[in-house]
Amino acid sequence: MHSGKIPENKVAFVDAACHTRDMNKHLANIGLAASVAIALVTGAIIVGNQASAYECDGGSVTAQPGDTLWSIATTNCTGHTGAAVYAMGELNEVGILQIGEEIILP
């Protein structure tokens, strides 16, 4: 006759099955989180590259009274002004801008 109790060896089997199912859920969640993180990082890199893009008219300009690299960039370049200013500074090795100085645009 059946006593209504689950034999010891059957209880262990049920516990192991529940544990395995829970572990599979955790692994699936970890995989999903990793996929989302990779997508976010990849998106940030793509957006970051586009966000710092700029284009200048080319050629050069002569510095006028009141000019700064920033004002020259906003007048002669489109896109990320800060990146254009940095490139102008590197290209021209500018410390202090002098009136009459020829500034090569990147």
Q: Per-residue pLDDT tens for 48-68?
A: 555 789 999 889 999 999 999
Output the DSSP codes for 62-85.
Answer: E--TT--HHHHHHHHEEE-HHHHH
What is the crossing angle of helices 81-92 and 69-76, to 10°?
A: 120
Looking at the predicted structure, is the pLDDT value of residue 7 above 60?
A: yes
Query: Of the given ranges (28-37, 40-49, 64-73, 84-93), which has the lowest mean pLDDT?
Result: 40-49
pTM (2 d.p.): 0.53
